[in-house]
Copies of this chain bind each other. A is one copy, B any other.
Amino acid sequence: MATGRTHRPATRSRGIPEATVARLPLYLRALTALSERSVPTVSSEELATAAGVNSAKLRKDFSYLGSYGTRGVGYDVEYLVYQISRELGLTQDWPVVIVGIGNLGAALANYGGFASRGFRVAALIDADPAQTGKLVAGLPVRHTDELEEIVERNQVSIGVIATPAGAAQEVCDRLVAAGVTSILNFAPTVLSVPDGVDVRKVDLSIELQILAFHEQRKAGEDLGEAVARGTLPKAAEEAADRPGPDGDVPAVMPA
């Protein structure tokens, strides 16, 4: 998963487990697709497949929201779409500001999936005076000086940070001081925020590193298994034997 939430110490918000909340958008997406195809009802099995999860998990997830299914039939698609939307707070509009209109920020601003789910880009903000006033995705880029005013006037509670890492904490502090209580951070830094403020991060580099780990493991597996079976010549065996904690590796980094 390309996301990691900040430590929210097992806060079951109104009885809905955090893990379930994270899956609701997935169900919603699958349900919306069914709704567009005018499918009236769907079974937990079908929906689970569409959402890429286990059907028992899906049923348990829905059970936290209440009993919205009909035994022998399944779930009413429209009704479920409404219930999940309501639970996620998508029946209202959420004004969002994006700070840092560079490569990534501009891509985010142009992203259609934003508006499609009740999120409205209230403003684009950048510190570079050369950017100020430029139109990105039809919106004028505003200068950082106006940040507080924009947040307050538009009642923005969700902020997206797409600045370089060095500027992220400062931007975060200003957003929070101005009233933002939820932050989506694309900069590769750990943000510290006061209690009551949620931070979620998206870090491409971390995702790739996790993939690399598994990739390496896959590559080493065949070799490793061969070693275990003793079907390799001695030399290859030693090469495959990863240096263990016994420390026969150089204490310097080769790069």
Q: Which A residues fall within an 8 A CB radius of B?
A: 1-7, 13-14, 21-22, 24-26, 28-30, 50-54, 65-68, 76, 78-79, 81-82, 85-92, 94, 96, 103-104, 106-108, 110-111, 113-114, 116-119, 157-158, 181-184, 188, 190, 192, 196, 198, 200-218, 244-245, 249-255
Alpha-carbon gap, A108 to B118, bound state (A): 26
Contact between chains at B52 and A6 (CB < 8 Å): yes
User: In the complex where A85-B253, A104-B111, A208-B158 touch, is A198 in contact with B181 (Cβ < 8 A)?
Assistant: no
Secondary structure of the A contact surface, majority rule: mixed
Least Cβ distance of A6 to chain B in Å? Answer: 7
Interface pair B66/A244, CB less than 8 Å apart: yes
Q: Are B253 and A158 in contact (CB under 8 A)?
A: no
CB-defined A-B contacts under 8 Å, sample of 12: A1-B5, A6-B52, A25-B205, A29-B188, A29-B205, A52-B190, A79-B251, A86-B249, A92-B216, A96-B208, A103-B110, A200-B211
Q: Once bound together, how far apart are the Cα atoms of A160 and B89, in whole Å?
A: 31
Whose C-beta in chain B lies nearest to the C-beta of A189? B29
- Do the beta carbons of B214 and A198 come within 8 Å of each other? yes
Decide if A205 touches B51 in the complex (CB within 8 Å): no
Pairwise interchain contact B94-A13, C-beta atoms closer than 8 A: no
A182 partner residues in chain B, CB cutoff 8 A? 211-212, 214-215
How far, in whole Å, are A117 and B188 apart by their CA atoms in the complex? 13
Q: How many whole Å from A245's CB to the nearest CB in chain B?
A: 3
Min CB gap A91→B, angstroms: 7
B2 adjacent to A3 (CB under 8 Å): yes
Q: Are B103 and A200 in contact (CB under 8 A)?
A: no
Task: Give the chain B neighbours of A24 by CB distance below 8 A.
Answer: 209, 213
CB distance from A199 to the nearest CB of B (A): 9
With A78-B253, A103-B107, A190-B52 as known contacts, state yes or no: A210 contacts B200, CB within 8 Å. yes
**Beta-carbon nearest neighbor of A250 in chain B:** B82
A217 touches B254 (CB 8 A): no
B-side contacts of A21, CB under 8 Å: 210, 213-214
A216 CB to nearest chain B CB (Å) = 3
Contacts A88-B213, A119-B205 known; 12 new A-B pairs at CB < 8 A: A2-B201, A22-B206, A81-B253, A88-B209, A89-B216, A91-B255, A108-B204, A182-B214, A182-B215, A184-B207, A198-B211, A198-B214
Residues from chain B with Cβ under 8 Å of A26 in the complex: 190, 206
